[in-house]
Structure 1
């Protein structure tokens, strides 16, 4: 299972954090990892969208103003990919994203990842079971460390 991460360069720090957290549970296609130097980057992006199961976009003023982010969203929607808007800034949300249920990023990356995995889980229930198993193990290990 793979998620494509679309973002504006101005939001790269948040994109890096989200990618790092999501990769604990699924593969994430992101340009800095999946486009080799010297490769035709536009072709690589289209292939990444086609091969991904989910399309996650960080919605911000910068991504809304980016023609490339909008192209990527449009391609994903034309291909029928499930699109998950993670809203950093709710000003000027494009109509094609405004009609979708948002995942709002306020301050907790854990909440965003949990909400994304729950949304993915509607399509892949095994993912939710894996996530809950990892959470249970982490809680158990914390108990051991405290004692």
Structure 2
């Protein structure tokens, strides 16, 4: 068991070394979003605990507050799909037409998520979207301006 944990720690360290190499570009223009920010959420211990309980993902990086700093990740990391779930929830609550809610023939044909950095406890998100060349693009933005997930 200890050997497996050491190997997992090495894999996570290697991944965290390359996290800043991922592109943060999405198919939208940052200077002219078509919506005001909405769906404001803050990542908390409680949101991570709840999401972990719902999904069964109790990985150490999400729950052990000493693990992240000890492995070079900088802190406790939120589940990536928590951000994705929040984006769909914000759209359903604040912009249901974006998801074709209320349209009997409408549906979401797909949803792509691109993780461009780790998300930590205390990060604040709000959702904006703009029109692209095809389907609408949406992007969560945090308080420091990067785009952890995108939909296009």
Q: Name the structure where helix makes up a greater proportion of residues.
A: 1
Structure of larger gyration radius: 2
TM-score of the pair, normalised by structure 2: 0.24
TM-score of the pair, normalised by structure 1: 0.25
User: Which of structures 1 and 2 has the larger relative contact order (alpha carbons within 8 angstroms, sep 6+)?
Assistant: 2
